[in-house]
């Protein structure tokens, strides 16, 4: 009386084992997803490196003769609370790039339009800022593919940043 029941249970166990073995086995053949840009940049340390060198490049340009970036950065550079303001900018910028590159960070700062509203950033100022970003990518030894992907992220924000 009990045997047929056992056989049924055994058959069920066998078939489900076979099903899962097959399902799991095929997973190994699937190509691994490509690491995110955030991961390829070296995670948080990589994003921080990119932002820190970019900010240092902007600061250096702003203190050079005939600077293109001094005009827009004067309110920040002359603020008695400059250290706190710089720290906030750095933090926002890291979160923004960290999120845009597929990392776990979340940007909670202003939209690009409101952050740059009233600055009337010119084409020339934009291109000098972009050169500072390119120089940071090079200094951080990023690969060609990573550089192109970061450049696209930045260039997609140009319309919200320039001329407002």
Q: Cβ distance 93 to 58 under 8 Å? A: no
Among 129, 142, 146, 150, binds ligand HEM (CB under 6 A): 129
**Sole residue written with tokens 């000098």:** 128
**Cβ distance to ligand HEM smaller for residue 9 or 120:** 120
Determine if 94 is a binding residue for ligand HEM (CB under 6 A): no
- Pick from 37, 54, 69, 137 the residue near ligand HEM by CB under 6 A: 69
Q: How far apart are CA 97 and CA 50, in angstroms?
A: 9
Q: How far is the CB of 133 from ligand HEM (least distance, A)?
A: 7
Residue whose CB is less far from ligand HEM, 73 or 164:
73
Residue with nearest beta carbon to ligand HEM = 109
- Give min distance, CB of 25 to ligand HEM, in A: 45
Distance CA 136, CA 141 (A): 9
Alpha-carbon distance values, 77 to 13, 17, 58, 59, 74 (Å) = 71, 67, 11, 9, 5
Residue 116, annotated as binding a ligand: yes
Q: Tell me the C-alpha distance between 160 and 111, whole Å.
A: 8
Number of residues located near ligand HEM, criterion CB under 6 A: 22
**CA atoms lying within 13 Å on the CB side of residue 143:** 8
Q: Would you count residue 50 as binding ligand HEM (CB under 6 A)?
A: no
Q: What whole-number distance in Å separates Cα of residue 90 and Cα of residue 19?
A: 52
CA–CA distance, 36 with 40 (Å, rounded to integer): 6
What's the closest the beta carbon of residue 96 comes to ligand HEM, in angstroms? 5
Annotated binding-site residue numbers for heme: 116
Annotated binding-site residue numbers: 116
Interaction site with ligand HEM (CB under 6 A)? 69, 72-73, 75-76, 85, 88-89, 92-93, 96, 109-110, 115-116, 121, 125-126, 129, 154, 157, 161
């Amino acid at each position: 009386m009990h045997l047929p029941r056992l056989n049924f249970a055994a058959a069920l166990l066998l078939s489900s084992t076979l099903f899962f073995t097959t399902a799991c086995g095929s997973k190994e053949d699937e190509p691994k997803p490509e690491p995110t840009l955030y991961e390829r940049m070296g995670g948080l340390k990589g994003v921080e490196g990119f932002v820190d060198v970019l900010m240092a490049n902007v600061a250096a340009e702003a203190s050079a003769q005939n600077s293109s970036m001094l005009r827009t950065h004067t309110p920040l550079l002359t603020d008695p609370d400059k250290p706190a303001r710089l720290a906030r900018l750095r933090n926002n910028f890291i979160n923004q790039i960290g999120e845009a590159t597929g990392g776990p960070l979340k940007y909670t700062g202003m939209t690009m339009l409101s952050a740059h509203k009233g600055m009337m950033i010119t084409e020339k100022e934009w291109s000098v800022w972009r050169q500072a970003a390119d120089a940071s990518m090079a200094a951080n030894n990023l690969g060609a593919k990573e550089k192109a992907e970061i450049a696209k992220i930045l260039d997609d924000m140009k319309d919200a940043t320039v001329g407002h």
